[in-house]
Each structure stands twice: as structure tokens, then as C-alpha cells.
Amino acid sequence: MKTGYALVNGHIINGDQQRNMEKNMTILVNEQGKIQAIGKSSELTIPNHYEVIDLSGKYVMPGLINAHVHLFADGKPFSLSVSEGMLQFAYDRILNTKFGKNVLKKRMKRNALTALHAGVTTMRSVGEFFYTDVKLRDEINNGEFVGPNLLVSGFFLSVTGGHGAPFLALVGDSPWEARKNVRINVKNGVDLIKICVTGGVTDAKMVGEAGRLQMTVEEVAAICDEAHKIGLRVAAHVESTEGVRVALKGGVDTIEHGSEMDDEIISLFKNNPNALNGYTALIPTFLAAYPSALLDTSVTKVSPTVKENSRLVYTSMLKGAKQAIENDITIGLGTDAAMSYVTHYDMWREMDYYIKQTSLNNKQLIDMVTRTNAKILGIEDVTGTVDIGKQADLIVLDQSPLENIEALSDVRMVMVKGNLIQTPSVTRIQEVDDVLNSVW
């Protein structure tokens, strides 16, 4: 049985530009994990059986939403520069075994909990092995353990030789094969569909392959039609301008990573008749790109091919993000957690990157990582703001992130669906932190 809580004397922050910080407020959270009342302490009657938590001098805001994560890894540097034969052997003999799947599930659960303890109350997982993400989501939703809200995609959808294929993707080479793969993922209980329209940095074998077109408009359109008719969104991995154009024409709902835009692309983002809600959002992932792109290979240990592909993708992605901001395109925030140097506990770095590289300020970034992300993912009625009737997905901070975004690196309390974590604990990865701190 959940406890009801009265969070008293806290300063409430919502990112919405129309709402200022509300000081010395009380939030009542009922036993169902919903926010039942918000007001000045003098105006609210606290039920006798509610546990009172005094937040004097502290700041309360919606839990963070990471719109682009993978749970299969934790952010320690890794390399895929081994032969396909070795990868196939590791997949068949280690990962795709009962033992391997158990190890994978434990690792994914640990990464999800790391994110939660760092203040990420909602995660959209966009590509995992064996539908392990579906199993974790169901265990959380069934109350087997307290975890973040998970939206999951299962396997990628890709093409023969495409990004993620054959180990992390279902492969299809025509519109009908692509439809079938949507149906397979739906049968296995996914919340969204993730497709790979272009190549990617991690498995590209030559310079330029990362953004090379792999899917056709017809294939993308078939996938979107199949997903949209049952209300599922489609997220598209894209790392080139032409890839963005193909994905938008096909009707995807989010562009992951992104690239430099032209007038046609800008128009399609803002008014996309084939997308589920009539527009497409952009979700760049700078944390995943700039270490490999900008740091010396003596530090990152990546190959010259990976470094150059990373540089090309990073440069174009930054241009695209700036164009999106200038043209009022809906833009969300995701980190690509699991990639090399992208941990599950460091969302503030992605936010800080925007502050340093774009015109956005702290409040706009807070809005992006809470309310806007919730809207993009279709869960704005449930979470994303501190409002009566919404799920109690909250974080408590000692310092105001409106003044310093790094305040989000030290979360004092986390609440998800009304479950309170009073002393969150995050195990940091020193080798990753040292590298990132050296360039921050």
C-alpha cells in the first residue's frame, strides 16, 4: 500500500514560460501516486495519515524525461571494430543464451535504476535486444520493483546491411516486409517503432556511411501507416539531410540525431500530414556525438573512420538543431545513453551543451526536458509538469537549476508515480567523468 505524502515549503519550478517559480508551496500526493493538491501551506489541510516531508529551501520540479536511451550498456567506452564473424559468434554463443539474456536483463535494470536515482523518471528506450525492455517495463508496471516510466521499442527496424542489422534489428527490404516487422514488434508489446533510415556511426565501415540512405520513402511510409493506425509513434534514426527528407516524407513522428535542413525539410517538420499528430519533432543527441568527434583518438581510442564519421554527423546535427530552434520546430531532449561516454546519470550535460551552443536558456531547457518531451512522447496528460491530477513524478534539488543547470547533477530526492526515494544513490563511472570533465 502506497503512502500519501505532503511535500511542504518547497519552491516549485515548471519550465513553461508562462509560469514563474512558486515559493514555499505544499504538494499533496495521494496513495494512488497522483498529485491531489498544490497550494500555500496555510491554504491546504494535510490528511493526518500523510507523511510530511519538509522541503524548506529546496526546489521541486517535474522528473526529467530522457527521450532517447538504450539500456543495454552504461556509457563506458566500447568499440565495434571487430569482424562480423566475431560479433556473430558473441551473439550466438553468449548473448543469445539463457545465461546471456539474464545478464543483459540485470544490466538493463541496473541502468534504468541509475537513471531514476539521477532524476530521470521517464525514459524512451529506442532499441534493445530480445524485447528485454518490454519485460522490464511490464515488471515495473506490475509493481515488481520501483522503476522509471518506460516507453519501449524492442528491436530496430532496418534493412539488409543496415544500421543495427542483423543483431539489434529486424531486417526488411520492401514495404510489405517492413509492415510485417512492425507487426512482429507490436505482437511483442512495444510502445513505439524505431527505424533506421540511414547508416550510423557505430557500425559504419567507411567514411560517409553513417548518413548513407538505407530505407526508401515507400518503406518508411508503410511502417508509419502500419504503426499510426494503432496509435504508435515512429522514431527514425537519421544522420544526413537526405535521410531526414525521406523520413519526413514517409511520416515519422520524431527524427533522432538529425542533420542540416533546407526549406522543404523545415516546412515538413512543422506541417507533416503523414505524421501521427501533423508535425514531426527533432531529438538531437550531442552527448553521443561530440566526444568521438572532438576529442583526440588517444583519449577515445576510436578508429579514424569513427572519428571522421562522428565529426561529420556532429557538425551537421548541430547546424540542424540551431535551424530547428530558429524556425520554431518542436525539439526534444535525448542523450543516447549507453553509447560511449554517455551515462544514464548525466542529462544535465546535454542541457548545458544547448546553453553553451544555442540561444536557449535554462528555463527553456527545463521545459524541453519535461513538458515538451512529454508532449512529443504523447504522455503530456500523465507527466511532465507539476499539476493536479498528474502522476507524482518529481525531483527535489538543493540548488535552483534556473540559476545553474548543473544543479541537476545532485538530486536529493526522487518520486516516481508517488513512490519516494528519499536518498537516491548513483554509482558514477570515473573514467567517463574524467574525460567529460576535461572538456567541460
Q: Over the stretch 402-435, which tens digit does the pLDDT of each residue have?
A: 999 999 999 999 999 999 999 999 999 999 999 8
Task: Please state, rounded to an integer, the average pLDDT across all residues of the chain.
Answer: 93
What's the rounded Cα separation, in Å, for the pair 111 and 429?
Answer: 12
CA angle 407, 409, 7 (to 5 degrees): 65
**Grid cell locating 366:** 527545463
Instruction: Return the bridge partners of 195, or none.
Output: 157, 236
Q: Measuring CA to CA, which residue among 96, 91, 93, 163 is closest to residue 126?
A: 163
355 vs 315, 363, 366, 376, CA distance in Å? 17, 10, 11, 21
- Tell me which fold the domain 64-377 belongs to: TIM Barrel (3.20.20)
Q: Give 403's DSSP letter.
A: T
- φ, ψ of residue 430 to 5 degrees: the values are -60, -40
Say if residues 259 and 198 touch (Cβ distance below 8 Å). Answer: no
pTM metric for this prediction: 0.96
Residues 151-191 pLDDT 10s? 999 999 999 999 988 889 999 999 999 999 999 999 999 99
**Residue ranges of domains in the chain:** 5-62+385-421, 64-377
Q: What is the mean pLDDT of residues 344-350?
A: 96
Sheet holding 64-69, edge to edge: 64-69, 120-125, 149-152
For the chain, how many helices (H) and strands (E)? 14, 17
Q: How crowded is residue 305: how many other Cβ atoms within 10 Å of its Cβ? A: 17
Q: Which amino acid is present at 385?
A: T
Instruction: Return the bridge partners of 421, or none.
Output: 414
CATH code linked to domain 5-62+385-421: 2.30.40.10
CA angle 325, 223, 287 (to 5 degrees): 35
Say if residues 392 and 12 touch (Cβ distance below 8 Å). Answer: no
